[in-house]
Structures are given as structure tokens and as C-alpha cells.
Structure 1
Amino acid sequence: MSRHAEQFDNAAQQEEASTLGMWTFIATELMFFGPLFFGYLYGRTHFPEGFAAASRHTDVMLGTINTAVLLTSSMTMAIAVQARKIDAMRLAARMLFFTAALGGVFLAIKGIEYWKEWQEHLVPGAGFAFPEPSHADAAQLFYFLYFGMTGLHALHLIIGIVMVVLFALELSRRERLFAKAERIEVAGLYWHFVDIVWIFLYPLLYLVGRSGG
């Protein structure tokens, strides 16, 4: 028999409330990314050549690998959600650990990318040195937005990794009181939201305008 909190009539209603709560949370999270996306749109429309030049200095290979990593993590997360629904606890725990590991791989690759950009003096500030002086100001704006958007995304991913690991550890225990199916599903929604944000960031930062120049 399904258990549910006393404020709900049944387990289905509790699940719907949990899902609605996560969607509401995701909507509020868009307020963090929204200004950065609008800033990018402004820069791309007002300084198209400078933004295109800056985009060509991003590491498209690492960006593409990271995109594949996150898409794979979305698949493993979806498997974990479905496995928990049918009480396949071991499979669910393994898929959650795998999901968290892929998130860690993403962050490690992103860290390598940040290190390369630091070495190339592409971090906005006094030491910023863009190879094409005529586009330096626009490029610095691009990289300000680049680090802002990817950094905020990385922060959300770290939160997701911690959450997924905690659920995986809970599923590895006998009682599993906290890692209920609806909670794993809500965690999955958050993880997919983080992945979707990257799906928007990848073409904007790595692909748009890359063929020019």
C-alpha cells in the first residue's frame, strides 16, 4: 500500500504536488539565467563580428564532448527514475551513481577548458588579451557572459550531483525511507533542466558564427 503525507488524499496527489513544486522551482531558476541570455542576445545583435570572433576561440571539441556527456547522463537519469518506479533498487542506485559520475566528468572537462582560457588570457579583467585587438571590447563582453553562464550552469550541476549521490546512497541502504519514487522523479526533472540549459548554451557559445572569419 502506498504511503503519503497526511496533508494529501493519496500518493498520486502527493506525487503531483512534488512535480508541480519542482516545475515552480525551475521557473524561478530561469530568472538567474534570463538576464545572462538577454545580455548575450544584446551583444550578439550589437557586436556580431566581435562575438563571432570570440566564439571561434572557444574549444568546440571540449564543448562537444561535454554535450555528449550530459546527454548520456540524462539517459542514465531517466533509467534510474524508471528503475525506482518498478522497485529495481540496485539498478536505480547504479544509474544514479553513473549519472553523478558523468556530471563529475563534465565538470572536470570544463575545468580543463577554463584553465586553457586562463592561459590564453581570455578571462575578463585587467589581464584580458584578445588576439584580434579590433574586437577586444566585444570579445571581453562575450567572455564575461561565457563565464557567467557556464559558471552558473556548473553551480547548478554541482547541486544536482550532490542530490543524485545522496539518493544513490539512500537506495543502497535497506530501508530507503527518503529515496521514494516520486522524489527520484523530481530529482530527474532538475537534472534534465540543467542538461537543457546546456543544450542552449552549447550552440550559442560554441557554434554560432564559428564558420565566419
Structure 2
Amino acid sequence: MKINHTLPLEYRTHQNQINILGFWIFLGAEIMLFATLFAGYFTLVNRTGNGPTGTEIFEITPVLLETMILLTSSFTIGLGIHAMRLGNQKAMQVFFAITLLLGLGFLSLEVYEFIHYVHIGAGLQTSAFTAALLTTLGTHGAHVTFGIFWGFFIIFQLKTRGLTPETANKSFIFSLYWHFLDVVWIFIFSFIYLKGMI
């Protein structure tokens, strides 16, 4: 395997470069998935029937907390990648662990939010609006859940195999995924919650 030592660790082999390119293509497909969910939501947002509207169910406090937690996790995963490029595996693992803990905090707030919606009568079968809302939020939450499990496996591999071009490549790809989830959440926060509260 030919290694180019002038590149960052995660790019040093040809296979690693192909892996990163392939993941960018995968993220393109994920963008299409969420674009479809947003299009469905915006089509159905006013079809509330006898159910509640966004202004009636959205609460700013938990949404702001979710946003701050997820944006902070994007910062900590960035610090983890910076530590990786400095060759500091211990700091990298700490920042990755903090990222995953923040992800768990985000998920716990989202579970609370879902329970609250169902409790006030805004379930999947209440209206087209609530179905589209919960589907969009649930899809993002499922991606975060998957990311948390993936992140734990990355940390485990770093502990068992050390910081190599392969583990660095996997870690970098995971960080791209996590940043993508944060970008999607910014759209959810801006165009679903904030717009829905007006």
C-alpha cells in the first residue's frame, strides 16, 4: 500500500481517498432524502384538520436546548479531528466521547418532545401536518441514534488498533456524517420550528 506522508492521515492512501469521495456521494443521497421529507412537510404543513398547528405545539425552550447541544457537538467533533491531525489520540477519543454524550443529550430531549406531542394529541395519525412533522424529526433522530452507535465503534477501534491511516479515515468520515446531521438540524430549526412558531 502506497502512503503519501504529505497528506493528512485520513487521506494518505488511495483507498482512503476513494472512501472519502464515496462518502460524499452517499451524503448527496442523504440530502435528497431530507429534501424529500422537507418537501412533504412544506406541502402538508397547513393540513392540520382538527389537530393542533405548529404555533400550538412548538415550544422554544427545548428546541433551543436541542440546537445548542447539537451545535456544540459539531464543535467537539471538530476538535476531535484537530486532535487526530496533531496525532493526539487520547484527546481525540475524549472529544469524540463528549460528542456522543451530547448526542445522547439531544436524543433525550427529542424523546421528551415526542412524548409531549403525543400527550397533547399530536401523534402520527392526528393530521397530515403532525405525520409529516414526526416523520421528518424521527428520521433525523434515527440518524443521530445510528451516529451514536457508529461513534462508539470508532472509539473502540481507536482503543484497540490505535491511530492509523485506516482508523483516521473512518473517524474523519464519521465526522462528516455528524456535521451533516447538524446542518440538517439547522434547517429543521429554522424552517420547521421558527417558521412554525410565527
Instruction: Give the CA deviation at 1:77.
Output: 0.4
Letter of the structure 1 residue corresponding to residue 68 of structure 2: A
Asked if 1 retains the 8 angstrom alpha-carbon contact of 2:96 and 2:155, the reply is yes
Distance 2:13 2:135 in 1: 39
Give the structure with higher Rg (CA). Answer: 1
Asked if 2 retains the 8 angstrom alpha-carbon contact of 1:90 and 1:171, the reply is no
Distance 1:75 1:23 in 2: 20
Asked if 1 retains the 8 angstrom alpha-carbon contact of 2:12 and 2:165, the reply is no
What is the aligned counterpart of 1:165 among 147, 152, 164? Answer: 152
- TM-score with structure 1 length normalisation? 0.79
Instruction: Give the CA deviation at 1:176.
Output: 4.8
Residue by residue over 1:61-119, the C-alpha shift from the partner in whole angstroms, topping out at 9 and shown as x without a partner, is: 11111010000000010111111122100000011111111110000000111111111
Partner of 1:189: 176
Letter of the structure 1 residue corresponding to residue 65 of structure 2: I
Distance 1:179 1:64, change over 3 A: farther
Distance 2:128 2:188 in 1: 16
Distance 1:68 1:179 in 2: 32
Asked if 2 retains the 8 angstrom alpha-carbon contact of 1:90 and 1:172, the reply is no
CA RMSD of aligned residues (A): 2.5
Distance 1:2 1:102 in 2: 38
Instruction: Give the CA deviation at 1:18.
Output: 2.0
Instruction: Give the CA deviation at 1:209.
Output: 4.3
Asked if 1 retains the 8 angstrom alpha-carbon contact of 2:16 and 2:169, the reply is yes
Asked if 2 retains the 8 angstrom alpha-carbon contact of 1:59 and 1:113, the reply is no
Asked if 2 retains the 8 angstrom alpha-carbon contact of 1:94 and 1:168, the reply is no
Asked if 2 retains the 8 angstrom alpha-carbon contact of 1:81 and 1:185, the reply is yes
Partner of 1:91: 91
Residue by residue over 1:110-163, the C-alpha shift from the partner in whole angstroms, topping out at 9 and shown as x without a partner, is: 0111111111111032xx3xxxxxxxxxxx222111110110001111111111
Instruction: Give the CA deviation at 1:183.
Output: 1.9
Partner of 1:210: 197
3-state SS of paired residue (1:173)? helix
Distance 1:78 1:182 in 2: 14
Distance 1:78 1:14 in 2: 23
Distance 2:89 2:31 in 1: 33
Distance 2:33 2:194 in 1: 23
Partner of 1:119: 119
- TM-score with structure 2 length normalisation? 0.85
State how many pairs are aligned.
189
Partner of 2:140: 153
Structure 1 segments, 4+ long, off by >3 Å, are: 1-4, 12-15, 47-50, 173-179
Residue by residue over 1:6-52, the C-alpha shift from the partner in whole angstroms, topping out at 9 and shown as x without a partner, is: xxxx92533332221111111111232222111122235xx3998xx
Asked if 2 retains the 8 angstrom alpha-carbon contact of 1:79 and 1:95, the reply is yes
Distance 1:165 1:78 in 2: 17
